[in-house]
Amino acid sequence: MSVKKLSDLAKTIRSKNAGTDKITFDIIFRERDTYEKVKRSGVLTRQSVCRILNADPARLTDFVEYDPACAIKFTILRLRPSGSPGDADIFGAQQYAPFLDVEVNMPD
């Protein structure tokens, strides 16, 4: 078994606005085999996503393993609306960084 970073396995790791009150995340894989191995590893679950984002589980509105696109997608409620005073990321595009270094145990 080898340990790899999620950023080395995924084609795309991104976050973006999903309306004014939500941020959505997409983790997309090139190969179905890699996607399936990451899914089976259990590294990305409703619980782990909340832990990685340091977010209350009540903020997680959606969590989907979307097999046709080899993607894991999830959405959280923002702490404040996009563009409101104190919002540090109006487009929600800088929220994905905590997932880059997530370690995944991959079978050899």
User: Is residue 62 situated within a structural domain?
Assistant: yes
Single-letter residue type at 67: D
User: Is residue 22 situated within a structural domain?
Assistant: yes
Reported as a single tens digit per residue, the pLDDT across 45-72 is 999 999 999 999 999 999 999 999 999 9
Residue 86 is classified by DSSP as T
Phi and psi angles of residue 29, each rounded to the nearest 5 degrees, phi first: -115, 150
∠ CA 24-15-6, rounded to 5°: 110
Q: What is the pLDDT of residue 51?
A: 97
pTM for the full model?
0.94
pLDDT surpasses 90 at 1: no
Span 7-25, mean pLDDT? Answer: 97
User: Is residue 53 situated within a structural domain?
Assistant: yes
Question: Domain of 37?
Answer: 2-102
